[in-house]
């Protein structure tokens, strides 16, 4: 499989990668702790846009299409910006750093999760006036959305489910250690979460299904002599067509899984430092990988180089075992 390294990678930790939602697009959005959001054209392997903030950017996403993006971070402000004009405006604010942002296509709302222990919903047409403020009782560490749900992984090691039609539900996670990432499956029946203890849990939105079928498994563990070394699972990405998913860990590895068969399909050779973020393209034929130290073992001098790698994906690689 061909692998491409994009030029002009961020100078500090890579916090998020997002492909444009249009399957025909090759645009990749990247946020970083170096206070920049960058836009790459993967087809031409070029940096096509860059926007500077006043503080570290912890998350970013496209807003509706590839013409605008949203970004959040230590500035405590939800920013909407256009790369072409560089015009930005504030959609919302929090009392502490904003860790997560999602554009909710079905309703046109923007959801943000913050270290101020709230989940907030915003209407971009009426900036700075939250539609709703939900008290989480814990810092938001990760988040994802689907048609009816917002899923937040909190510092209390719980999963907070927000049904856009009903009140918040707090559910004890199948993972017993700190949750670092969460992602909804394409069929929207289930979601996966990963923890610092090298485990992934598959859980279900339906309470009865979850009680019966949820499970967790070990991953991203290496051997050093006779000892097993446990590495955090930093990121998850579902293939848009087949429901199989990839995990990226602090061991520098990427593994691809069939969650229903509970089997690993394949894995990459480890990169030189941690995998901090990943995403599949909307067409499913590319996997973007952010390679960036996550400082589990302290700061290294010199710091490992940050890299943006895009791997081409064959359809057959992502098929569940039952279809092969």
Domain ranges of the chain: 3-323
Task: Give the number of other CB atoms < 10 A from CB of residue 140.
Answer: 27
| Integer CA distances (angstroms), 27 to 65, 134, 320, in order | 11, 33, 27
**Model pLDDT, residue 66:** 83
Q: Number of helices (H) and strands (E) in the chain: give both, helices first.
A: 1, 30
What is the pLDDT at residue 298?
Answer: 64
- Position 96 scores a pLDDT of 98
- Over the chain (324 residues), the average pLDDT of each successive run of 10 is 92 97 96 98 96 97 91 98 92 98 96 97 95 95 96 94 80 83 96 95 93 93 87 97 96 94 92 96 97 78 89 94 67
What pLDDT was estimated at residue 297?
64
Report pLDDT for 167.
Answer: 65
Please give the Cα distance from 227 to 53 (Å, whole number).
Answer: 43
* Whether 1 contacts 9, CB under 8 Å: no
Q: How many angstroms from the chain centroid is the CA of residue 288? A: 12
Is there a contact between 30 and 17 (Cβ–Cβ < 8 Å)? yes
What CATH fold (topology level) applies to the domain 3-323? Methylamine Dehydrogenase; Chain H (2.130.10)
Chain centre to alpha carbon of residue 26: 18
pLDDT at 120: 96
Q: CA–CA separation, 119 vs 143, rounded Å?
A: 10
């Amino acid at each position: 499989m061909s692998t491409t390294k994009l030029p002009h990678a961020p100078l500090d930790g890579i916090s998020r990668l997002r492909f444009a939602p249009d399957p025909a697009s090759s645009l990749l959005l990247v946020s970083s702790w170096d206070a920049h959001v960058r836009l790459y054209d993967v087809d031409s392997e070029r940096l096509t846009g860059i926007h500077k903030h006043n503080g570290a950017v912890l998350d970013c996403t496209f807003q509706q299409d590839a013409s605008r993006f949203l970004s959040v971070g230590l500035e405590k402000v939800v920013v909407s910006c256009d790369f072409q004009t560089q015009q930005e405006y504030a959609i919302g604010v929090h009392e502490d750093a904003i860790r997560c942002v999602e554009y909710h296509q079905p309703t046109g709302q923007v959801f943000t999760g913050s270290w101020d222990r709230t989940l907030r919903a915003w209407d971009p047409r009426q900036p700075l006036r939250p539609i709703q403020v939900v008290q989480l009782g814990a810092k938001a560490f990760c988040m994802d959305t689907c048609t009816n749900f917002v899923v937040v992984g909190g510092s209390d090691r719980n999963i907070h489910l927000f049904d856009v039609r009903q009140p918040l539900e707090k559910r004890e996670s199948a993972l017993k250690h700190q949750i670092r990432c969460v992602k909804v499956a394409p069929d929207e029946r289930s979601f996966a979460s990963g923890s610092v203890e090298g485990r992934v849990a598959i859980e279900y939105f339906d309470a009865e299904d979850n009680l019966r079928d949820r499970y967790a498994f070990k991953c991203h563990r290496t051997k050093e002599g006779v000892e097993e070394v446990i590495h955090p699972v930093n990121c998850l990405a579902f293939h848009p067509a087949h429901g199989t998913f990839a995990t990226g860990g602090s061991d520098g590895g990427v593994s691809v899984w069939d969650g229903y068969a509970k089997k690993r399909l394949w894995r990459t050779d480890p990169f030189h430092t941690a995998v901090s973020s990943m995403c599949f393209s909307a067409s499913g034929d590319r996997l973007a990988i952010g390679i960036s130290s996550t400082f589990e073992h302290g700061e290294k001098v010199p710091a490992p180089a940050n890299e943006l790698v895009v791997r081409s994906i064959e359809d057959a690689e992502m098929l569940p075992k039952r279809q092969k």
